Amino acid sequence: MTESVPRILATYRIRADRGDVEAAARALALEQSVELPREAIFDRFVLEEVAGTVEFIVPRGEAEFDVVIGLAPETTGFDPAQTLNMLFGNSSLHEHVELLDVDLPPDFLRRFAGPRFGIDGLRRRVGAHGRPLTCAALKPQGLSSDALAGLCRTFAEGGIDVIKDDHGLADQRWAPFAQRVAACQRALEGVRRETGTMAVYAPSLVGSPAALAEQARIVRDEGVGMVLLAPALLGIPAFAELVAERIAVPVLAHPAYAGAARVAPPLLLGRLFRLLGADAVIYPNYGGRFSWSKERCAAIARACRTPWGEVRPAMPVPAGGMSVERVSELVELYGTDAMLLIGGSLLAAGDALLARTREFVARVSAARAPQRRDGAP
């Protein structure tokens, strides 16, 4: 192997007996590189430069080991889809293997743009500094475009920074995409003229490549300030290309379908979504309607914000079953460089939605983050 070319170091969790783990690790290294047994490789260049290498094996529990595999960067073609293929292509079909993390060489990182706005850019866009950002969701699907626009107006009047579509909103007959986006953006602009708010609306883009291109055009023509995309639903390469070529505003990444593979959430949501252009990343918060632990949620926040070469930090966006009453607890964990997304807890207020929204915004503004916190980089 050429010493001057650092390898991608991918960390996997393997379930195997102690006596079998070295063979399992060697098999994994070959499966994720040349897809051949060692005895079938006769070319010296392939063997020394292309084949994966076992770098470390670390015991982690009863019949569990962390295995670090070295992969040649050029095997990825520096393409998003091929990179994922090299990291967890065939091996994603092995139930005893989970992809935990990846260390990418600096030259490799420079091939990917990462967030175009990042935390600082998001703060400038909504005019919010020194506190967490606030976010609310337009839901449920089934409401008309006018009804959703009314909710958008109320949230903006209440002081919310980012007002996003629920990810279930698409191009349905009760609120067609073009009609809904125009109505919600007009409602937001009306409040902006009245109050000076810098809040942004983030419609959900979803569909075929042709539909996404048309939706991106509508977003641009309507002057929308942010978009919501689900990378795992769209497909990683489609997401990366859409962000790079058709979207000129910040991107809020949604985790829908991201639980369908055995890839550790801090890596998939916090690092890979960030690497491919997400400026902010939604993920299920602990203690809500999802079963993720506080430790996992803190790890995702760290993965979003930890310095990583020249890649800008992304804003962590905990969500899912959160309540206004938990604001202080969440700010204590995540600190100020986070966006708190609350949907149902606000919408349940019914006719008191405006007052409840203002209470949420006031609690966020009043909350104080400690100097050190679990969710910090």
Output the pTM of the full model: 0.91
Of 277, 298, 315, give the one whose Cα is nearest residue 373: 298
DSSP 4: T
Q: Given this chain, do its domains 8-109 and 118-366 carry the same CATH topology?
A: no
Q: Where are the domains of the chain?
A: 8-109, 118-366
| Per-residue pLDDT reduced to its tens digit, 22-75 | 999 999 999 999 999 899 999 999 999 999 999 999 999 889 999 999 999 999
Q: Does domain 8-109 have CATH number 3.40.50.620?
A: no
Residues of the chain above pLDDT 70, percent: 97
Strand order in the sheet with 53-61: 53-61, 64-71, 8-15, 97-103
Q: Mean pLDDT score of the chain, rounded to an integer?
A: 94
Q: Write down the pLDDT at residue 5.
A: 81
Banded pLDDT at 79 (limits 50, 70, 90): very high
Q: For residue 140, is pLDDT > 70?
A: yes
In the predicted structure, residue 231 carries a pLDDT above the cut 60? yes
The amino acid that residue 45 corresponds to is: F
Q: Which CATH number fits domain 118-366: 3.40.720.10, 3.40.50.720, 3.20.20.110, 3.40.50.970?
A: 3.20.20.110
Q: Is pLDDT of 2 > 70?
A: no
Task: Classify the C-alpha dihedral 267-269-271-272 as positive or negative.
Answer: positive
Find all residues with CB under 8 Å of 323, minimum gap 6, and list them: 342, 345
pLDDT of residue 289: 80
**Residue 372: is its pLDDT beyond 50?**
no
The answer to whether the bond into 59 is cis (omega within 30° of 0) is: no
Give the pLDDT band of residue 1 (cuts 50, 70, 90).
very low
